[in-house]
């Protein structure tokens, strides 16, 4: 994915300039709690030349960063970063990541990604001309979701393997999710920046990370679990149908159903061959069609998107046409 200049236009941008960074390796500038240092001396360069441009935007409990570096940098985390976990999608160049207290590391090149934990002592080395998208996640959000999935408090810290042996499809899924955030920020018709659909997206990406990567609780999540009863599935479905305008997570639904999120997920896979979120998605599409029929010409597409937590009118229209064979506008106009 090429970083469009319009993506930075949606963000708060910080420029790291030569005058802020010592031309020898001794000192460095700080961007938040991250310390930057040139990997090689650039004494022939202008003192006011921008070394890096970093754009940030906060989305719910997440933060997306777009980083464009002219020169290779030595990046360190001397303090705790407010977002302690990062999905790093490398667009150009390469990044070598070395976790704290580790003698080895892993390298991600263009088109690949890596998972980074920003503990003090963690280091990342980049090459000239590196560009990347970083999706930052708060550790507390990961821990809360994992505890709900396990249905118990954690007895050991949540740590991720520095070198991921990616399960089939997980890396591609995370790449698409990072690109999704960037696309939504650029799209002027997206409702994402206003909070529509953010809760569902956060839940999706955190579950993808916990279920698809190697970490200290991978084996615990892989253990067999009994599926919820058909009554719980019915209760969950009715709760979703009655609350389609609300931002719902799988944990919210499972709590009302009276079982754990994992048990409910297993029951939906067994009884319906679908995930809980896909059923919720289908119910929202059906409700959107009924709203367009009932509202006639007075119901705008954006209003339907906001009401049923679809973050983008264009993508909603495409999904609607795929499901029902007509566009939302055609449904509305026929009933006006």
Contact (CB, 8 A) for 23 and 158: no
Residue 25's pLDDT is 39
Count of all residues that appear for the chain in the document: 336
Residue 311 in tokens: 């973050």
- 74 in helix, strand or coil? strand
Residues of the chain with pLDDT under 50: 22-28, 44
**Residue holding tokens 């150009």?**
92
Which CATH number does 5-138 carry? 2.60.120.10
Cα torsion 179, 140, 28, 12: sign: positive
The topology (CATH level 3) of 280-334 is: Arc Repressor Mutant, subunit A (1.10.10)
Decide: pTM greater than 0.85: no
Mention every residue, 6+ apart, whose C-beta is less than 8 A from residue 44.
none
Domain ranges of the chain: 5-138, 280-334
Beta strands in the chain (DSSP E): 12-17, 29-31, 34-38, 50-59, 62-69, 73-76, 85-92, 94-98, 106-109, 113-117, 123-126, 131-137
Residue 28's pLDDT is 46
Residue 37's pLDDT is 81
User: pLDDT digit string (tens) for 206-260?
Assistant: 988 998 888 999 999 888 888 888 899 999 999 999 999 998 888 899 999 998 8
Residue 35's pLDDT is 81
Residue 30's pLDDT is 53
Residue 26's pLDDT is 36
Residue 226's pLDDT is 82
């Amino acid at each position: 994915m090429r970083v469009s200049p319009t993506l930075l236009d949606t963000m708060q941008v910080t420029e790291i300039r030569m005058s802020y960074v010592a031309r020898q390796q001794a000192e460095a500038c700080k961007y938040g709690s991250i310390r930057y240092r040139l990997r090689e001396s650039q004494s022939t360069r202008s003192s006011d030349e921008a070394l890096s441009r970093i754009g940030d935007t906060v989305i719910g409990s997440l933060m997306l960063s777009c980083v464009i570096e002219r020169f290779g940098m030595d990046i360190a985390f001397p303090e705790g970063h407010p977002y302690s976990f990062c999905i790093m999608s490398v667009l150009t160049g390469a990044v070598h990541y070395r976790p704290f207290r580790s003698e080895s590391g892993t390298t991600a090149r263009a088109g690949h990604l890596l998972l980074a934990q920003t503990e003090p002592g963690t280091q990342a080395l980049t090459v000239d001309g590196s560009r990347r998208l970083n999706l930052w996640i708060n550790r507390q959000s990961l821990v809360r979701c994992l505890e709900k999935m396990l249905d118990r408090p954690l007895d050991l810290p949540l740590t991720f393997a520095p070198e991921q042996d990616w399960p089939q499809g997980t890396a591609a899924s995370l790449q698409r999710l990072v690109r999704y955030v960037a696309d939504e920020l650029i799209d002027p018709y997206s409702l994402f920046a206003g909070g529509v659909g953010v809760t569902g997206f956060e839940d999706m990406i955190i579950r993808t990370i916990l279920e698809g990567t190697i970490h200290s609780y991978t084996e615990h999540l892989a253990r067999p679990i009994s599926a919820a009863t058909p009554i719980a599935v019915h209760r969950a479905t009715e709760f979703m149908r009655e609350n389609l305008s609300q931002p719902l997570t799988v944990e919210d639904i499972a709590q009302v159903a009276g079982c754990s999120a994992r048990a409910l997920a297993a029951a939906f896979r067994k009884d319906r061959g679908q995930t809980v979120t896909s059923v919720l998605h289908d119910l929202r599409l059906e409700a959107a069609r009924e709203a367009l029929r009932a509202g006639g010409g007075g119901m705008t597409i954006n209003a339907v998107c906001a009401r049923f937590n679809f973050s983008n009118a264009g993508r909603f229209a495409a999904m609607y046409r795929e499901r029902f064979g007509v566009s939302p506008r055609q449904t509305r106009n026929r009933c006006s």
